Amino acid sequence: MQQKQKFRSHSAAQTIDLGAEIGRRLRRGDIVALHGPLGAGKTTLVKGIARSLLIEDRVTSPSFTLIAEYEGFREGFPIILYHVDLYRISHPQEIEDLGIEEILNGSGVCVIEWAEKAAEFLPESAIQVEIGLLEGENRSVEIEGLSAP
């Protein structure tokens, strides 16, 4: 088992920067499973990942559409960022109906908020990110499974 990498963020800007650092280390086909309470900064972290993929579109939580696709670039080649938000999902069948397996087996990068709801669909290789609420804007971030820079 890989050791968890632990970080602290003291602002939304730092969380975006941390997301960008994570994004620079992602490869095609990677899956990032985000965990943490409502308001912890999961979407903020995704904004940083999107920035690292040179995505200029405004990244928002796809709470109602459930899946958002953004076109970006990695090493000069197009890549898709799939941003999945399972907050409103209440049953595993709903996840299956989304066609998530196609996304998980694709060549883009997939980031899933509320990933615990899709645990049975995620491969062991999924990168696990736990964001914890601390006092004020402070956050703890633990990452497991991310390749070294």
Positions of E strands within 16-138: 31-35, 67-74, 77-85, 109-113, 127-133
Instruction: Tell whether the model's pLDDT for residue 1 goes beyond 70.
Output: no
> What is the helix, strand, coil percentage profile of the chain, to 5?
30, 30, 40
**How many Å apart are CA 106 and CA 17, to the nearest integer?**
26
CB count within 10 Å of CB 93 equals 9
pLDDT: which is higher, 51 or 148: 51
Q: Which amino acid makes up residue 74?
A: R
> And the tokens for 37?
């309470």
The pTM score is 0.94
**Residues 83, 59: contact at Cβ < 8 Å?**
yes
Question: Domain-by-domain residue ranges, the chain?
Answer: 5-108+126-144
Alpha carbon distance 111, 30 (integer Å)? 8
What is the Cα gyration radius of the chain?
Answer: 14
Q: What is the per-residue pLDDT for 49?
A: 98
Helix-helix angle 12-24:42-52, to 10 degrees: 50
Q: Is 32 left (phi over 0), alpha (psi -120 to 50) or beta?
A: beta
Q: For 5-108+126-144, which CATH class?
A: alpha beta
Share the mean pLDDT of the chain: 92
- The band of 2, judged by pLDDT with boundaries at 50, 70 and 90, is low
* pLDDT tens digits along 110-129: 999 999 999 999 999 999 99
- Percent of the chain exceeding pLDDT 90 equals 75
83, 53, 52, 55: which is closest to 67 by C-alpha? 83
pLDDT in tens, 10-61: 999 999 999 999 999 999 999 999 999 999 999 999 999 999 999 999 999 8
